[in-house]
Amino acid sequence: MKGARKGALLALLSLFALAGLVSADLVIPADQPICRLYGIIQVLGTIAGVLIAAYGGFILASSNDIAERNSAKQLLGGVIIGLIIIWVAPLLVKSLVGATDVCGW
């Protein structure tokens, strides 16, 4: 039973990763390879963050152990901080450089 769940989770994760790669490939122009790479990292990081946040939320909701709940809270906090960094970085670069448009963001 555990092997089937793990296989299904792996298949779902790879499906999300492929969908993210395709969407990043469609949005970012081909003449900007750095922007293309950052878009792929952003999509994969977001997918991983959402999956890890779901796991942390499940542990937080279902655990009776205080230590497990605290580690789940720390995990969720780290995921939120990581997602904020991933999504705010283009805006920060845009404001620091003084550009009007960075990679279409």
Q: Which domain holds residue 66?
A: 50-95
Q: Of residues 103 and 50, which shows the higher confidence score?
A: 50
In a domain, 1, yes or no: no
pLDDT value for 1 = 45
Mean pLDDT across 65-77: 94
Please report whether residue 86 resides in a domain.
yes
Q: Which residue has the tokens 């939120």?
A: 80
Q: Is the alpha carbon torsion for 71, 73, 76, 77 positive or negative?
A: negative
The pLDDT value recorded for residue 3 is 55
Tell me, yes or no, whether 38 lies in a domain.
no
Number of domains in the chain: 1
- Does residue 60 sit within a domain? yes
Alpha-helix runs per DSSP H in the chain: 2-27, 33-62, 66-97
Structural domain includes residue 84: yes
- Is there a domain that residue 37 lies in? no
The verdict on residue 61 lying in a domain is yes
Q: What is the pLDDT of residues 34-48, one digit of tens each?
A: 778 888 888 899 999
Split at pLDDT 50, 70, 90, the class of 67 is very high
Answer whether 105's CB lies under 8 Å from 90's CB. yes
Residue 12 has pLDDT above 70, yes or no: no
